[in-house]
Amino acid sequence: MYVVCKEHVELAIENFVDEYEDAPDIVNLKETEFSDWDPPVKCAECEKHAEFLVV
């Protein structure tokens, strides 16, 4: 699972495919709320605001 900004979505997809050998689902964090989990605020690759969950 990767929480990233728009700039790092492609990198997260590549890392996911390399690790799991399967295509990920991409979730827009602005459009989705989770009842039991608060996603990180910052991108896993930089200090920008996290916008997508690659899972």
Question: In terms of C-beta density within 10 A (0-12 exposed, 13-18 middle, 19 or more buried), how is residue 43 classed?
Answer: buried
pLDDT tens-digit profile of 7-54? 999 999 999 999 999 999 999 999 999 999 999 999 999 999 999 999
- Structural domain containing residue 37: 2-54
What is the H or E stretch that residue 28 is in? strand 26-28
Predicted model pTM: 0.91
Predicted pLDDT of residue 44:
96
Tally of domains within the chain: 1
